[in-house]
Homo-oligomer: A and B are copies of this chain.
Amino acid sequence: MTRPRAPRQGNSNPRRSALVDAGLSLIREVALEEVDAVAVAERAGVSKALVYYYFPTHRDLQVAVVRTAADGLLEAVRTDPSQAPAEQLAAALDAGIAFIEQYPQAYRALSRGAAFSPQLLEVFEFARDGVVATLAAGLGIGHPNPAERICLRGWLALVEEAVLHWIVSGAPVPRAELVAFCRDVGLSILASPLARSATGAAAAAS
């Protein structure tokens, strides 16, 4: 707790970035709990001491990996505001599904493992809110009210789970059917009484 914290800051440090990259590479194969100094040092081909210099604890390392992955997801689902809302939604959905498809084990470890620890949860909640904000902007909602937020968060969880289960189970469902399913559920949710409820609108206006 009394160690100097300075060296750990600064995402632009290339040696630190290389360690985070090694952690991201590991998370494609193992659970988040197995991302530790020993495994990262081995993967990056550096000493454990160097890993400890930048990340005094395993949790510091795991938080950095989760944060970088979350930034990647936010970047992936960022859409072109000049497009029509429906096109933006389709583009974000396609990019989001492609992101999950690329590293399904990693995505599951992050989206369904982060609540193990308050620090990890904080990073993941921030990312989730960021995705909801991006989606809302794409849909022309701007600042979603509390009811719309519930709908969007629920939809995001459905997309994650449907895509992860599709991949992990090897279900013989064409990708296009899955994408259409996610899109249609999203559209029907946004047209639901809850999303359009006066409760939500009144709360947002207050």
B165 contacts A161, C-beta separation under 8 Å: no
B161 contacts A146, C-beta separation under 8 Å: no
Q: Mark A183-202, 1 if CB is under 8 A from B, else 0.
A: 01100110011100101101
Neighbouring B residues of A121 by C-beta, 8 Å: 31, 112-113
Give the docked Cα–Cα distance between A115 and B173 (Å). 25
Neighbouring B residues of A113 by C-beta, 8 Å: 112-117, 121
- Chain B residue at minimum C-beta to C-beta distance from A189: B185
B117 contacts A114, C-beta separation under 8 Å: no
Q: Which of B33, B171, B185, B203 contacts A171 (CB 8 A)?
A: B203
A18 within 8 A of B: no
Q: Mark A162-193, 1 if CB is under 8 A from B, else 0.
A: 10011001011110011011001100110011
Give the docked Cα–Cα distance between A161 and B178 (Å). 20
A32 within 8 A of B: yes
What interface size band does chain A fall in?
35 or more
B185 contacts A192, C-beta separation under 8 Å: yes
Neighbouring B residues of A188 by C-beta, 8 Å: 185, 188
Given contacts A109-B116, A115-B31, A154-B161, contact A194 B169 (CB under 8 A): no
A193 contacts B173, C-beta separation under 8 Å: no
A156 within 8 A of B: yes
A–B Cβ pairs within 8 angstroms, 17 of them: A112-B112, A112-B115, A113-B117, A147-B171, A149-B165, A150-B171, A154-B161, A171-B203, A172-B202, A172-B203, A173-B200, A178-B194, A180-B194, A184-B193, A185-B185, A185-B189, A185-B192
